[in-house]
């Protein structure tokens, strides 16, 4: 009997020593966690698992002992943290580390209480082992279910990649913008909406008339700015360098404007040729419009010729004369030099242009030419648009885009077309094509104008 008691005491002492050693290991394990490699949560969890595995391999505890239970509890906790990280990519390395340390603190407290009081019995250890195994099984089942749900969600998302996406802000959510799918589209609906939207967008983006108008405004702004400087005596006209700086600024602005007029013709002809074909009825009709305005509009014809002379022959084809007056307003006179225009082969080889130039009694005013161009240029653009964008086609595309707008149910925010699978845990925000508010507004305004006619 005494020998049995001695044997039991020896076994208890050995178990206590083993538990003490593994509690010490747990202290060091927890202290080493912050230094483990891995920027992502999963990488950190794998490193924590490797560290645990090395300790178990070097000197494993006695099976079914309190020390073995400690190691099993450690394994359970980093496995749970790893599972959480695997199921949610938003879990950071720091969050995973903090979660694991918090759980291990509980394991260590339990182990220390066994030293201070009494270690659990073999039956209690066995029950705890079974409980840990059950926890592992629950985690595995939850992971399997989550993976199955994710696969189903992803499969559905891949089969339904189109829809209306709304981007909006919510003060209660810490995000610059939140994206949500308002509704799904069939592939046919997506293509119908996207094609109508793209045609309207191209029409607005190719608004070369606005480009010409903007350059005209810029030219006038430069002239007015220089005129104010003369009036305010910002510089002296007797200092030749100062007037020349302003003359260069005005000439550059005129080149920009006349080049815009020239580009309007070139790019319009290119666009109509690309859309309808070289030599098509539409192409020939637009060419005739440009030929007609060149023949019928003095301002258009000579601004085109003036641009050619300034770019290819001599900048002095455009004259600038500045006058400052003591008791009246300053003036700037902008002219087209008849002398330099007579040096143009493109002018002098054409009888009607040569005759017209020789009949001029003074250099024409460029400001008058720009003013006279405006009432002719607007109707020209209207006729071009009628050919390039037939009203029936534009009306149909505008109606289609209005239908698209209604799919957003009046919600305000960023409108977009979804172009790929998304809005699942793994796909998250899908690829999308943002809708330009200008195009959406154009469709609404087109509807209003049509109803009003």
Predicted local distance difference test score (pLDDT) of residue 7: 46
The pLDDT tens digits of the residues spanning 105-148 come to: 998 998 898 888 877 887 888 888 787 778 777 777 777 787 78
> pLDDT averaged over the chain?
87
Candidate from 127-131, 191-195, 216-220, 255-259 with smallest mean pLDDT? 127-131
pTM of the model: 0.61
pLDDT recorded at residue 118: 78
pLDDT of amino acid 450: 53
pLDDT at 1: 44
Q: What is the pLDDT of residues 411-447, one digit of tens each?
A: 999 999 999 999 887 788 899 999 999 999 999 888 6
Mean pLDDT value of segment 90-116? 89
pLDDT at 199 over 60: yes
Q: What CA–CA distance (Å, rounded) separates 354 from 123?
A: 117
Mean local confidence (pLDDT), 75-96: 83
pLDDT at 448: 55
Q: Would you say residue 3 has pLDDT above 70? A: no
Distance CA 93, CA 99 (A): 10
């Amino acid at each position: 009997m005494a020998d049995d008691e001695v044997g039991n005491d020896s076994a208890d002492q050995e178990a206590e020593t083993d538990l003490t050693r593994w509690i010490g290991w747990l202290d060091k394990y927890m202290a080493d966690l912050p230094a483990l490699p891995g920027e992502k949560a999963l990488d950190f969890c794998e490193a924590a698992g490797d560290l645990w595995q090395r300790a178990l391999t070097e000197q494993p505890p006695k099976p079914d002992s309190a020390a073995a239970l400690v190691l099993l509890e450690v394994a359970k906790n980093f496995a749970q943290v790893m599972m959480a990280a695997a199921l949610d990519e938003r879990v950071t390395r720091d969050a995973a580390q903090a979660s694991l340390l918090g759980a291990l603190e509980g394991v260590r407290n339990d182990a220390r209480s066994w030293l201070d009081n009494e270690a659990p019995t073999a039956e209690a250890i066995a029950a705890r082992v079974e409980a840990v195994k059950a926890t592992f099984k629950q985690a595995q089942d939850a992971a399997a279910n989550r993976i199955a749900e994710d696969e189903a969600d992803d499969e559905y998302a891949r089969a339904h990649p189109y829809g209306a996406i709304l981007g909006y802000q919510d003060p209660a959510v810490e995000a610059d913008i939140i994206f949500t799918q308002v509704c799904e589209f069939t592939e046919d609906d997506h293509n119908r909406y996207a094609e109508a939207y793209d045609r309207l967008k191209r029409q607005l983006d190719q608004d070369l008339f606005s480009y010409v108008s903007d350059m005209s405004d810029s030219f006038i702004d430069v002239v007015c700015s220089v005129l104010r400087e003369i009036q305010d005596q910002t510089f002296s006209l007797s200092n030749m360098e100062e007037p020349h700086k302003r003359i260069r600024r005005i000439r550059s602005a005129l080149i920009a404007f006349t080049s815009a007029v020239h580009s309007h013709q070139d790019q319009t002809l290119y666009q109509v040729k690309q859309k309808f074909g070289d030599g098509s009825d539409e192409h020939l009709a637009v060419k005739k419009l440009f030929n007609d305005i060149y023949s019928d509009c003095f301002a258009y014809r000579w601004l085109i010729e003036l641009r050619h002379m300034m770019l290819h022959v001599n900048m002095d084809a455009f004259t600038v004369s500045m006058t400052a007056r003591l008791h009246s307003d300053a003036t700037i006179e902008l002219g087209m030099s008849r002398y330099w225009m007579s040096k143009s082969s493109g002018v002098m080889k054409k009888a009607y242009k040569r005759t017209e130039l020789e009949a001029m009694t003074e250099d024409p005013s460029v400001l008058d030419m720009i003013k006279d161009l405006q009432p002719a240029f607007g109707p020209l653009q209207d006729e071009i648009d009628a050919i390039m964008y037939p009203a029936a086609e534009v009306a149909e595309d505008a109606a289609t885009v209005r239908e698209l707008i209604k799919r957003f149910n009046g919600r305000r925010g960023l409108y977009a077309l979804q172009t790929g699978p998304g809005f699942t845990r793994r796909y998250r925000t899908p690829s999308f094509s943002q809708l330009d508010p200008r195009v959406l507004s154009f469709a609404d305004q087109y509807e209003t104008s049509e109803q009003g006619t």
